[in-house]
A and B are shown apart, each in its own frame.
Chain A
Amino acid sequence: MASTFSMSAEGLAFIKKELTRYETPYSAIIPSLFRVQAEHGWVPPEAVVLLGKTLNLPEAHINEVLYFYTMFNTKPVGKFHIQVCTNISCAMNGGRELTQALCKHYGVEVGQTSADGKVTINKVECLGSCDTAPMMQVNADSYLENLTPESAIKKLKEMGA
């Protein structure tokens, strides 16, 4: 299975560089996982094996990091991973209704990916933009803030979702 997973030459070069950037090679795990995700959209188990070899670190330790941090997708997600904040200030200002509206628009449930593989919608915890509630983040892009269901759908359309 490991043979089916590969990374770009630039990606591997990036990882090698991160290995020398910090005081311990372990610190390269998070940036490397981000890099895998940037290239593949998610982090498959085979990537952990590859990183184990590339970083020369135990796979179990890499896997611990992978599963601890919620920004890493351990399952495939759509091209547009829509993450709507539904923590307290956003919930007070329509974050949950926004999620529902987006789910209805794309015909998916929370946590699911649309049939065409384009869109995944998730609720997330506070993203630290409570004064612009409700808000959301698509993939790892800049925040989309002060949303209404209509404005959110419009913005997503402009992005191609």
Chain B
Amino acid sequence: MPKIKVNGQEIEVPEKSTVIQAFKQAGVDICHYCWHPGLSIAGVCRLCMVQVEGMPKLQIACNTEVKEGMSVNNTSDVVKETVKWGLDFHLINHPLDCPICDQAGECGLQDQYMQFGSYDPEMAEPKVKKSKAVDLGPTVMLDKERCILCSRCVRFTDEVSKTNELGIFNRGDRSEIGTVQGKPLDNNYSLNTVDICPVGALTSKDFRFRQRVWYLKEADSICPGCSTGCSVKVHYNEEGVWRVKPRVNPEVNGHWMCDVGRNTYKYVNLKSRLLSGKVGKRDLWQEVSVEDAVRSAGLKLRETSPDAIAVVYTGQYTNEEYASAFKFFKEELKVKNVFHWLNNPEKVNEFDGLLFRGDRNPNTKGLENAFASFGAKGSWDNLQAGINGRKFKTVIVFGPEDQSVFPDLDEKIKMFSQAENLIWLTACANKSLDSVGGETWQIPVKTYIEKAGSFTNFQGKVQDFKAGTTIVPQALSVSEAVELMAGREINWNLRPRGVGGPKTNYAVSDRGEL
């Protein structure tokens, strides 16, 4: 491994590394826009200029390979001057509309200007005018004036999604990113272009104008959208969760995630959620505290004979939750009838070649492992027969967190509710559930962002995650629910506080909707 000096600091870097990679490895700041570790080298922004000892001209760090004994710096006056001017060249036709730009606060131009720029601009000419608010497709908007033509998005659609919707048309300072007639930017990875856009040129239709990013906090998590289990960051504030972005994980998702996965924040928020316990049946619901609901459900379970209980699992819970549930039902209640509700068996092995899998559960593998380690088995047919034949009096369902990926949800609710008693743990409210005829317990549980645990992805890789934020403080994890059903206590003092929920915008409510 070659040893090189980065701003005087000696480091050892892997063979064939580029200088910019060496800077990153050394933790030394270096200005750049077009370079992205997940894309080919374009070398066009010309900002990562460094001085290489022994070379007369400045070199771009992104396209310069390290050599043993090389000494590079980006601190000399000539480099600083070049970077300063490089930034100015980027800004002379940029609208500088930060106050109304969604990228403000996470903008490469802002960041690098504060760090490497801070000069008085000399550009006094009229700027090149280009189209703004260009609709690129169902997910992304383009502001051509903000675009600095780094070509990251074009390289992404050419090299990663391989969907080729984007191009740079025209030349010189008239160059514009765009799509062609009849071929919008429309693929399941389109929003990655927004992530990698270093400026506010590409914005997400879902996120734009909704929050200032400096009001958002972020928490690391694992995407529950499918069995790939991409590493993600969830962005939230006291009003709820606003967006999900990918987090670099070379072993699973690299730099990317799919658009479907980004939607997983929506059901997490208050509007969709079940906020209290509900006991009763159609037209006779009683809203009770979560504790009361879960304790009375536990009582019902404990008074039902084990052979008359059916436990139905979905692949949407954590390994830790499965462990406590299996322990309770198998070892304490001695229930033998356990079932795996697989929402889409015919698509479960599908794969788009990049990240997105047909198994829309984050933890099918974990559930299978739990079945195996507890020596449990259960076939779907027996369940139906058992309910119809009145063998199963009490059915408890660990229902889907993301209900949208269970196309058979309503139909299954109908089937389960034919049992005398139905206990349903669910994160979200559900109309079908509200109209069942049998005695039913609805118990609110936490979503992935509200709990710690691990999912085992399709590769068998166990991925831990921490709790991010809490939207519904009264919701329980399955492990907590199981403890309470068993008649034991949990430590209520350790339970989180919730978020405040969407603020009322009086300016809007007084004048009507914007």
Query: Residues of A with Cβ closer than 8 Å to B?
Result: 1-2, 45-46, 48-49, 58-64, 66-68
Interface centre among B157, B165, B178, B180 (most CB of A within 10 A): B180
Considering only CB atoms, which chain B residue lies closest to A67 in the complex?
B169
In the complex, are the beta carbons of A48 and B166 less than 8 A apart?
no
In the complex, are the beta carbons of B182 and A63 less than 8 A apart?
no
In the complex, are the beta carbons of B182 and A64 less than 8 A apart?
no
Considering only CB atoms, which chain A residue lies closest to B167 in the complex?
A60
Chain B residues with CB under 8 A of A62: 180
Q: How far is the CA of A68 from the CA of B180 in the complex (A)?
A: 14
Q: Give the interface SS of chain A, mostly helix, strand, loop or mixed.
A: helix
Q: How far is the CA of A68 from the CA of B170 in the complex (A)?
A: 5
B59 within 8 A of A: no
| CB < 8 Å neighbour of A68 from B171, B178, B179 | B171
Chain B 158-189, CB within 8 Å of chain A: the 1/0 string?
A: 00000011111111000000111111000000
Interface centre among A46, A64, A66 (most CB of B within 10 A): A64
Interface size on B, residues (CB 8 A): 15
Considering only CB atoms, which chain A residue lies closest to B179 in the complex?
A60
Considering only CB atoms, which chain A residue lies closest to B165 in the complex?
A60
Closest 3 CB pairs of A and B: A58-B164, A60-B167, A67-B169
Q: How far is the CA of A82 from the CA of B41 in the complex (A)?
A: 41
In the complex, are the beta carbons of A63 and B180 less than 8 A apart?
yes
Chain B residues with CB under 8 A of A66: 169
Given A58-B164, A60-B166, A61-B164, do A49 and B171 touch, yes or no (CB 8 Å)? no
| CB < 8 Å neighbour of B181 from A48, A58, A64 | A48
In the complex, are the beta carbons of B181 and A45 less than 8 A apart?
yes
Q: Nearest-CB distance from B307 to chain A (Å)?
A: 62
Chain A residues with CB under 8 A of B180: 45, 48-49, 59-60, 62-63
Q: How far is the CA of A45 from the CA of B169 in the complex (A)?
A: 13
In the complex, are the beta carbons of A1 and B181 less than 8 A apart?
yes
CB pairs A–B below 8 angstroms (30 shown): A1-B181, A1-B182, A2-B182, A45-B180, A48-B180, A48-B181, A49-B180, A49-B181, A58-B164, A59-B164, A59-B181, A59-B182, A59-B183, A60-B164, A60-B165, A60-B179, A60-B180, A60-B183, A61-B164, A61-B167, A62-B180, A63-B167, A63-B169, A64-B167, A64-B168, A64-B169, A67-B169, A68-B169, A68-B170, A68-B171
Chain B residues with CB under 8 A of A48: 180-181
In the complex, are the beta carbons of B170 and A67 less than 8 A apart?
yes
Chain A residues with CB under 8 A of B166: 60
Interface centre among A45, A46, A68 (most CB of B within 10 A): A68
Chain A residues with CB under 8 A of B167: 60-61, 63-64
In the complex, are the beta carbons of A49 and B182 less than 8 A apart?
yes
Q: How far is the CA of A46 from the CA of B181 in the complex (A)?
A: 8
Chain B residues with CB under 8 A of A61: 164, 167
Q: Nearest-CB distance from A118 to chain B (Å)?
A: 27
Chain A residues with CB under 8 A of B181: 1, 45-46, 48-49, 59
Q: Nearest-CB distance from B293 to chain A (Å)?
A: 55
Q: Nearest-CB distance from A52 to chain B (Å)?
A: 8
Q: How far is the CA of A67 from the CA of B170 in the complex (A)?
A: 5
Q: How far is the CA of A61 from the CA of B168 in the complex (A)?
A: 9
Chain A residues with CB under 8 A of B165: 58, 60
Q: How far is the CA of A49 from the CA of B183 in the complex (A)?
A: 9
Chain B residues with CB under 8 A of A2: 182
Q: Nearest-CB distance from B154 to chain A (Å)?
A: 8
Chain A residues with CB under 8 A of B170: 67-68
Q: Nearest-CB distance from A125 to chain B (Å)?
A: 12
Q: How far is the CA of A111 from the CA of B314 in the complex (A)?
A: 66
Chain B residues with CB under 8 A of A64: 167-169
Chain B residues with CB under 8 A of A63: 167, 169, 178, 180
Considering only CB atoms, which chain A residue lies closest to B174 in the complex?
A67
